[in-house]
């Protein structure tokens, strides 16, 4: 059973950055997955458990070759790299605007 983390709501920009980072991670991992806003909203509120539940429910065929924990870890690690790269890019843009 999934338990809602009930964390403070992320800003739309923050939530979108995370969603795009997941979608970028899927691309880098050669997974033909894409989360729209509604799908991501339902998953994000449960954290890793939400990702795990989604994989088990939507991609069960992959569980014949990989463990769910392996898939979730691969996605989460790659998503964090994508998010860090995005945040560095945004920080650079902000710095460039301040210098102008």
Cβ atoms of 68 and 52 within 8 Å: the answer is: yes
Confidence of residue 99 (pLDDT cuts 50, 70, 90): low
Q: How far apart are CA 90 and CA 96, in angstroms?
A: 10
Q: Domain spans of the chain?
A: 12-99
pLDDT score at 11 = 62
Q: Tell me: the pLDDT tens digits for 47-90?
A: 999 999 999 999 999 999 999 999 999 999 999 999 999 999 88
pLDDT score at 92 = 83
Question: Closest Cα partner for 13 from 70, 78, 94, 68?
Answer: 94
pTM, two decimals, is 0.81
Confidence of residue 34 (pLDDT cuts 50, 70, 90): very high
């Amino acid at each position: 059973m999934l338990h809602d983390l009930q964390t403070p709501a992320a800003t739309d920009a923050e939530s979108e950055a995370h969603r795009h980072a997941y979608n970028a991670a899927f691309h880098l991992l050669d997974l033909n997955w894409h989360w729209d806003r509604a799908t991501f909203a339902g998953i994000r509120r449960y954290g890793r458990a939400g990702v795990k539940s989604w994989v088990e429910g939507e991609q069960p065929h992959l569980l014949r070759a990989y463990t769910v924990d392996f898939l979730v870890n691969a996605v989460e690690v790659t998503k964090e790299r994508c998010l860090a790269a995005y945040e560095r890019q945004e920080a650079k843009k902000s710095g460039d605007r301040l210098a102008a």
